[in-house]
């Protein structure tokens, strides 16, 4: 679960969360056995935003090996996050990565339930911040991708995703309440597709070398019990180079394009803790997305690290309408606190700057 504060939120509150989190982390529960190693890391969550008022919850990760795994097998992990606010909003978020039969089978995805408030700024590049409208929506989420190992580092499988949206409240003067935007009426998004991955990373949570290439194509249609009819292609490429001891250079390229009648909540987006930090999550959205990100990661000592990141991104309805004036740059710096020495699992604190925008991010794990 990501907790994000932007310039108009109260930064000192997130620092309270940070202090509480460290104390709890180093009293985390660790259980080791010969063939079934397990570890639980948990952090309490306390935060405040104008839209939610006070929020409380927890976030963490449970790591383990299956009994059939070898001693040096890659750990499976189930992350979790949940929060409840004074405005009776609820988020439950459970992403998972399972490596079965010594990585011959790879299963990952997410289970979740959200009853929360979000922002919509319009579709396309001409979406000024003044057009922001808030909406409250409730939806359960299921995402699962089972893959089978074809050969060393190569995986092929299927991808299924389902979100069932129920709108609870709209801004009284926005586009969504007028239902002029596709997806602004309660409905179900359900899709099925094919996925191919290449993974040569040494450590999934904090790689020092290797490549992760994730690609999929999926379709939504009535035969999948979806209320929408469209397709999407996605490519996500990350490379990690160890420049010298404790210094890593990471590169990330994301390209997504959608075809058909796409609801606004399924369009590719810029912003948030993973895609161009410094922009509000979902600040820009359209049918086509292209992002290029870089990050230098320097380990300072056993428990601390720091990063510098920068990148550019663009959205467009199609390739023909790509324009240089609509390129969105970002840059920023961050601090890393190591929660697990073996898996390199980090608490991430980033401050990013975008075009007329900035944001503070506190979450678990790396952006890419």
Identify which has the larger pLDDT, 279 or 29.
Answer: 279
CATH of the domain at 150: 2.40.160.50
Q: How confident is the model at residue 228 (pLDDT cuts 50, 70, 90)?
A: very high
Q: What's the structural domain count of the chain?
A: 1
| Phi, psi for residue 300 in degrees, rounded to 5 | -90, -45
Across 49-63, 262-276, 289-303, least confident range: 49-63
pLDDT at 325: 83
Q: Is the pLDDT of residue 25 over 90?
A: no
Separation in Å, CA 190 to CA 153, 266, 307: 29, 11, 37
Q: Do the Cβ atoms of 265 and 167 come closer than 8 Å?
A: no
Token reading at 145: 């991708």
Share of the chain above pLDDT 70, in %: 90
Query: Is the model more confident about 238 or about 87?
Result: 238
Q: How confident is the model at residue 9 (pLDDT cuts 50, 70, 90)?
A: very low
Note down the domain range covering 101. Answer: 3-364
Render pLDDT for 188-200 as a digit per residue (tens, 0 to 9). 999 999 999 999 9
Region 69-79 average pLDDT: 87
- Six-digit token pair at 142? 């299921």
- pTM greater than the 0.75 cutoff: yes
Q: Is the pLDDT reported for residue 89 higher than 80?
A: yes
Predicted confidence (pLDDT) per residue in 161-174, tens digit: 999 999 999 999 88
């Amino acid at each position: 679960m990501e907790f994000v504060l932007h310039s108009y939120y109260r930064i000192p509150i997130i620092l309270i969360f940070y202090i509480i989190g460290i104390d709890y982390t180093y009293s985390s529960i660790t259980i080791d056995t010969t063939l079934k190693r397990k570890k639980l890391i948990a952090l309490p969550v306390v935060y405040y935003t104008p839209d939610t008022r006070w929020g409380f919850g927890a976030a963490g990760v449970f790591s383990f090996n299956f009994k059939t795994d070898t001693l040096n097998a890659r750990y499976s992990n189930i992350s979790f996050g949940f929060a409840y606010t004074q405005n009776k909003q609820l988020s439950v978020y459970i992403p998972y990565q399972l490596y079965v039969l010594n990585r011959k089978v790879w299963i990952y995805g997410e289970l979740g339930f959200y009853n929360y408030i979000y922002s919509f700024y319009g579709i396309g590049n001409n979406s000024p911040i003044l057009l922001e409208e808030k909406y409250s929506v409730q939806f359960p989420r299921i995402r699962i991708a089972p893959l089978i190992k074809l050969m060393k580092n190569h995986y092929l499988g299927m991808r299924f995703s389902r979100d069932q949206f129920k709108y609870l409240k709209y801004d009284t003067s926005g586009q969504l309440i007028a239902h002029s935007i596709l997806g602004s009426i309660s409905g179900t998004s359900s899709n099925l597709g094919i996925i191919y991955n290449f993974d040569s990373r040494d450590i999934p949570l904090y790689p020092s070398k290797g490549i992760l290439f994730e690609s999929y194509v999926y379709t939504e249609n009535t035969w999948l019990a979806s209320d929408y009819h469209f397709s999407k292609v996605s490519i996500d490429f990350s490379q990690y180079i160890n420049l010298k001891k404790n210094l890593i250079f990471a590169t990330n390229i994301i390209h997504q394009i959608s075809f058909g009648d796409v609801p606004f909540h399924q369009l590719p987006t810029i912003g948030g803790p993973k895609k161009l930090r410094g922009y509000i999550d979902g600040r820009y959205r359209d049918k086509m997305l292209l992002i290029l990100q870089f990050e230098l990661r320097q380990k300072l000592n056993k428990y601390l690290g720091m990063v510098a990141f920068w990148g550019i991104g663009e959205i467009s309805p199609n390739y023909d309408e790509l324009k240089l004036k609509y390129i969105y740059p970002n840059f920023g710096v961050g601090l890393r606190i190591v929660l697990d020495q073996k898996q390199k699992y980090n608490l991430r604190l980033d401050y990013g700057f975008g075009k007329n925008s900035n944001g503070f991010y506190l979450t678990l794990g790396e952006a890419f």
